[in-house]
Amino acid sequence: MKIVLHKVSSGDAFTLIEMILAIGVAAIVLITVITVFFAALRLRESTQELVDNETPVDQALNMMERDLQCIVTPTNGTSKVLSGDFRVGNIISSGTATPVAIEMFTATGNLSDSKPWGDIQRVTYELRDPVDRSQPGKDLYRSVTRDLLSTATPEVEDQWMMSGVESLTISCYDGTQWWSTWDTTGLTSSDTNLPVAVRVDVQPVGNQTTPFEIIVPIDSQTITNMTLTTP
């Protein structure tokens, strides 16, 4: 076997300075990649936290908007079982022990073969103290009554919507100005018809936080405000 040895000249190898420079450049590139990677992770976490915080708000506002869009027109007279009144303000609703912000009858009930109830249901929205008193603000609840024809006290289903709410303000527009109260029963006001629009403002905890607001036009209106009577 013939072994051939080649002589390596000094120009064919890396010097110590070149190796140090190469390692330094590689370290800088690696640090840059790691910095970008962790910045992307932090951005992802903050974005996910923002989305998680906004999701209950969006769901709550969408649900309130849907309830208002499907509101049932009050019926003149005393028979208001399936088309009850619309009330806004610090009111006491049937089946609730604490005042609610709004009470309405809306056609948003889900039809089911297991529960013989129609799509009209009574819905209220209110603020309650959180279960964990250490948490700031209050919790927004949506209470639903489906069995409107029950001769006994109907069951009320409480649905948690969101937490950390400072205030819930509901205003009604009569075509001229906004009112903080509305009552189609005629007991506290002469507003026997539905408002033209309803504005909902949800103020989260913190003075620096912008309130969430929706304005829902009410298309359903009665023909007259006169009470029908029979001789």
Say which amino acid occupies 120. I
Decide if pLDDT at 169 tops 90: yes
Is 200 inside any structural domain? no
Contact assessment for residue 202 and residue 61, using Cβ atoms and an 8 Å cutoff: yes
pLDDT for position 37: 80
Is 74 inside any structural domain? yes
When pLDDT is cut at 50, 70 and 90, the band that residue 231 belongs to is: very low
> Which of 25-34, 66-75, 126-135, 188-197 is the least confident region?
188-197
Quick one: which of 220, 216, 221 has its CA closest to 63?
A: 216
156-173/197-204 β-pairing? antiparallel
pLDDT tens, position by position, 74-108: 865 544 555 678 899 888 776 666 789 999 999 88
Which residue range is the domain that position 153 belongs to?
53-163
Decide if pLDDT at 67 tops 90: yes
Tally of structural domains, the chain? 1
Is 25 inside any structural domain? no
User: Which residues, at least 6 apart from 35, have a Cβ–Cβ distance to it below 8 Å?
Assistant: none
Quick one: which of 145, 170, 142 has its CA closest to 155?
A: 145
Is 42 inside any structural domain? no
pLDDT for position 155: 84
When pLDDT is cut at 50, 70 and 90, the band that residue 40 belongs to is: confident
Per-residue tokens: 217: 């036009």
Average pLDDT over the chain reads 79
Is 67 inside any structural domain? yes
Grouping H, G, I as helix, E, B as strand and the rest as coil, residue 124 is: strand
Decide if pLDDT at 129 tops 60: yes
Q: What span, in angstroms and rounded, lies between the C-alpha atoms of 168 and 180?
A: 11
169 compared with 22, residue with greater pLDDT: 169
